[in-house]
Amino acid sequence: MQIYLPIAELPVNILTILAMGATVGFLSGMFGIGGGFLMTPLLIFLGIPPAVAVGTQTTQVVASSVTGALAHFTRKSIDFKMGGVLLAGGIVGSLSGIYLFKVLTAIGQIDLTISIAYVLLLSVIGVMMMVESVRAIRAARGGAQPARRGGHHSWIHGLPFKARFRRSKLYISVIPPVLVGFFVGVLSAIMGVGGGFIMIPAMIYLLRMPTNVVIGTSFFQIVFVAALTGVMHATENQAVDIVLGFLLVVGGVIGAQYGVRAAEKMPAEQLRALLAAILMLIGLRLGYDLISTPPDLYSIIEVEPLP
């Protein structure tokens, strides 16, 4: 069953889009990931213009992060003060990212930038997840090793503008969280991702936040940054396809329900290794496309008439 997308300006199969949304939703429910970094490359493989894929994907990120943030809100596992600081950085990051996106589109390098960003990101996350899950599988077989945490004092404690974060039991400078938020905001605007996979490790290892507030706080930041990014992509680039976004959200919401339930029954570590392998494969494919000789060296694009 085909439906014509008004902004992407091409017909797609409704069932394909719903199935993609459901698959990514399933994985995101199972592993607690946003899934943006899976969906955007899939949309691009499908022939959706990269700008529309990125712009539209932000609506899916909003939907899944609202669900996540609400769950953590009821468990009171959100550090609102830390979230606010991350958000302040995220807003500036998102606005800068949108500006960068516009400039790169104008000079014709946006597709390349998105591809390179994905190759780097997917290989890094893929390898990290693979290492982590292999270690966990080994630990489960050969008896658990005690988790290590490094020394408590690092260069971060020497920075100015310190503030107290009661929920996180921290007294640190606001500069690192602002920078983390900024970086994630830029990624959100250029790649259409929430950025939790970057933010969560950064919060744990860099800011040394307690793990019980990390996920909720990152969801809190992502809700607002993704919402801002979505609105900005709509106003600046006219790149949000509401029909495509709706289909992705519907598929994603349904998939996530089953993902959450499946996660309770299945061997999570083996699946995590599988997901890591999938990420590395997508990364390899995108990387191969960058270096292999394209079938046609020339591409065409409509441009605005000169004034």
Partner 1 sequence: MMRRAAAFLLMLVAFTGAARADQLVTDLSEHQIAIRSNFTGTQILLFGAVEARTPGTRALNRDVVVVVQGPVRPVMVRRKERVAGVWVNHDSVTYPNVPGYYAIASTRPLEVTAAADTLKALRIGIENIGPGAPTARSIDGTVQILPPDEETAFWKALIRNKRRDGLYINVPGGVTFLGQTLFRATVNIPANVPVGLYTAKVYLLQDGEIVDTISSPLYIDKRGVERFIFRMAHSDPLLYGLIAVLVAAFAGWLASAVMNRR
Shortest gap between Cβ of 12 and partner 1 (angstroms)? 10
Stretch that binds partner 1, among 84-92, 102-110, 135-143, 149-157 (CB under 8 A): 102-110
Which CB atom, from 148 or from 304, has the smaller least distance to partner 1? 304
Q: Which amino acid is at 96?
A: S
What mask of x and - would describe binding to partner 1 in positions 240 to 259, judged by CB under 8 A?
x-xx-xx--xx--x--xx--
3-class secondary structure, 157:
helix
User: Footprint of partner 1 on residues 281-300 (CB under 8 A)?
Assistant: 290-291, 293-294, 296-300
User: Footprint of partner 1 on residues 149-208 (CB under 8 A)?
Assistant: none
Cα 39 to Cα 59: distance, rounded to the nearest angstrom: 12
Q: Are 102 and 94 in contact (CB under 8 A)?
A: no
Cα 263 to Cα 166: distance, rounded to the nearest angstrom: 32
In sign, the C-alpha dihedral spanning 55, 57, 63, 66 is negative
Which CB atom, from 104 or from 206, has the smaller least distance to partner 1? 104
Q: Is 262 in the site for partner 1 (CB under 8 A)?
A: no
Cα 16 to Cα 20: distance, rounded to the nearest angstrom: 6
Q: Are 64 and 252 in contact (CB under 8 A)?
A: yes
CB atoms within 10 A of CB 132: 14
Stretch that binds partner 1, among 32-40, 68-76, 143-151, 206-214 (CB under 8 A): 68-76
Residue with tokens 């000079």: 107
Among 88, 92, 206, 227, binds partner 1 (CB under 8 A): 227
> Which two tokens mark 39?
């969906």
Stretch that binds partner 1, among 61-69, 163-171, 188-196, 275-283 (CB under 8 A): 61-69
Q: What backbone phi and psi angles, to 5 degrees, belong to 11?
A: -85, 140
Interface contacts to partner 1, rule CB under 8 A: 2-4, 6-7, 9-11, 58-60, 62-67, 70-71, 74, 107-109, 111-112, 116, 223, 227, 230-236, 238, 240, 242-243, 245-246, 249-250, 253, 256-257, 260, 290-291, 293-294, 296-306
